[in-house]
Amino acid sequence: MPEALSRHRPLALLAALVVGQVLLLAFQIKRNSNVRLIRYWAAEIVTPGEKGASWTFGGMGHFWSSYVALHGTFAENQRLRREVGELQLRNQELESRAADAQRLRVLLDFRDAHREAPMIAAQVIGGSADPSSHILFINRGEHNGIRRNDAVITPDGIVGKIVEVSPAAAQVLLINDRDSGVGALFADTRTQGIIKGTGDPDPVMAYVVNDEKVRAGEVIVTSGEDRIFPKGLLIGTVASNKPGNPFQVIQVQTAARLDRLEDVFVLLSEHELAPNAHDGAGDVALGIPPAAPSAPVSISAPAPESKAATTRPAQPAAAPRSKRIASEPPPLKAGPAATPANPGSSAKEPAATSTKSAPPSVPAPATPAPSVPADATRP
C-alpha cells in the first residue's frame, strides 16, 4: 500500500494541481450575470440533492399532517356527517307531521262547519292499476253506513261517488273517469250541463250550446239533478273552451286534487250543505267567495193610521153573511159626510175602519141593517 502511494504520488500531485488551478480559474471567472463560475458550479452540484431532500421531507410532512395528525379530525368529521344526516331525516319527519296536522285541521274545520249534514271521514287506501280507470279505495264500508251512489267530497270540492261497497271498504269512481257523470251548472249564469270524464286528469263539461258565453275561470258547481251530489258543491273552474258540433268543448280544472287524495268525506244523504258564512269568510267547498259586509237593515214601527185616508188591507176571506151585515155601518143620507174619504174603499173593509168614518151622532140600529152594495157608496 505505501509502495503504491509512493509510485502514484506524482500523478496525485499533478491532479491536485490541476484541480486547484481549475478552482482558482472558476473563482476568478464571472459569467454574464456577474456570478462567479465556482458559485454556479456549486449550485449545479448541490441543487439535485436539495430537491431530493425537499421532496422527501415534504412528502413525509404531508403524510403526517394529512393522516397521522388528523386521525381524530377525520373521525370527528364522520361523526358530524352522521349527525347531519339524522337531523335531516328528523326535519323531514317533522315537516311531514306538520303537513298532516294542517290537513287534518282543514278536515276538522270543514266537519265542524257542516254538522247539519251526515257525513263520515275516510282514508284512501289504494287505487286502480289501470291507467285509464280512475278508481280509489277507502277504508269505510257497509259497517260504517256506506251505500252505493253516496257522494264523496273534500273541503276543496267533489271527488266522486261510491260504486262498490264491501263490509270494511268501498270503491270510489272519480269524476274524471270515463264512466262518470255529474249534473253541473255555472255559478254565475246558472247554465246547466254535465261533467263527464274522458280518462284524462281533467274532465269536460258537455251539453252547453255554442251561443252560451263561457269565460275562463268561471266557477262550476253541482246542480243536484243527478240525485247523488247535493246542489251547490264546488266542482272546479273553466280551464278553456272552444266551439264544437253541436255543443261547446269545455275543459274543467277540478277544485279537488284528484291525483293526491289522502282523506275524503262520504255524504250519507243528499242533505244540502249550508254555507259557513257566520264570519263572512265564505265556503270554498260550496263555491261561495267571501261576502262583503252588508248594510244594516232598518226596521221601524208602522205609521199610525190616518182618519182622513186609510190603506185598504189585503182582501180577507169571506165571512158569514150574518157577521158581515153586523159589522157594516147603517145607510146614511146622501151628503158630504156620507161619502168615504178614500174612493177606493169598499163596504167590505173591517168594522174598525168603517166605524171611524161614521159620524158619532148617528146611533147604531138595534136590528142588523141590510147589506149595502159596494157601488152605492162611490161618488
* 316 pLDDT above the threshold of 80: no
As a whole number of Å, the end-to-end CA separation of the chain is 180
Q: Region 241-252: what's the mean pLDDT?
A: 92
Q: Region 332-353: what's the mean pLDDT?
A: 40
Among the listed ranges 76-80, 131-135, 210-214, 367-371, which one has the minimum average pLDDT value? 367-371
Q: In this predicted structure, what is the pLDDT of residue 162?
A: 95
Phi, psi of 140 (to 5 degrees): -130, 145
Q: Region 345-351: what's the mean pLDDT?
A: 38
pLDDT over 90 for what percent of the chain?
A: 40
Q: In this predicted structure, what is the pLDDT of residue 283?
A: 52
- Which band of pLDDT confidence, cut at 50, 70 and 90, is reported for residue 13? confident
Q: Which contacts qualify for 343-351: CB closer than 8 Å, 24 or more apart? A: 343/378, 343/379, 344/312, 345/310, 345/312, 346/312, 346/374, 346/377, 347/371, 347/372, 347/373, 347/374, 347/377, 348/315, 348/324, 348/374, 349/310, 349/312, 349/313, 350/313, 350/316, 351/327
255-298 pLDDT per residue, tens: 999 988 999 999 998 777 766 544 443 454 555 544 444 443 33
**Residue 45, SS3?**
helix
Contacting residues for 365 by C-beta, under 8 A, at least 6 apart: 330
* 208 pLDDT above the threshold of 70: yes
Q: Region 177-195: what's the mean pLDDT?
A: 93
All three cell numbers of 226, joined, read: 243527478
Residues in the chain: 379
User: Please, what is the average pLDDT of the chain?
Assistant: 74
Q: In this predicted structure, what is the pLDDT of residue 314?
A: 42
- Give yes or no for a cis peptide into 302 (omega within 30° of 0): no
Q: Is the separation of the CB atoms in 152 and 172 below 8 Å?
A: yes
Does residue 60 or residue 212 have the better pLDDT?
Answer: 212
Q: In this predicted structure, what is the pLDDT of residue 167?
A: 93
Question: What is the amino acid identity at position 112?
Answer: D
Q: Region 206-235: what's the mean pLDDT?
A: 92
Among the listed ranges 143-157, 223-237, 359-373, which one has the minimum average pLDDT value? 359-373
3-state secondary structure 186-220: ECCCCCEEEEECCCCCCCEEECCECCCCCCCCCEE
**Residue 62, SS3?**
helix
Does residue 315 or residue 82 have the better pLDDT?
Answer: 82
Please report the domains of the chain, with CATH numbers, ordered by start residue: 119-267 (2.40.10.340)
Specify whether the backbone of 188 is left (phi greater than 0), alpha (psi in -120 to 50) or beta.
Answer: alpha
Exposure string over 255-281, b if 16+ CB within 10 A, otherwise e: bbebeebebbbbbbebebbebbeeeee
Does residue 368 or residue 222 have the better pLDDT?
Answer: 222
Scanning 64-167, the segments in alpha helix (DSSP H) are: 71-113
94-107 pLDDT per residue, tens: 999 999 899 889 98
Q: In this predicted structure, what is the pLDDT of residue 15?
A: 79
Q: Which residues of the chain form beta strands (DSSP E)?
A: 119-127, 135-138, 151-153, 158-165, 170-174, 181-186, 192-196, 204-206, 219-222, 234-242, 249-254, 263-267
CA 265 – CA 106 distance, rounded (Å) = 12
Entry pTM:
0.54
Q: In this predicted structure, what is the pLDDT of residue 74?
A: 76
Q: Is the separation of the CB atoms in 365 and 330 below 8 Å?
A: yes
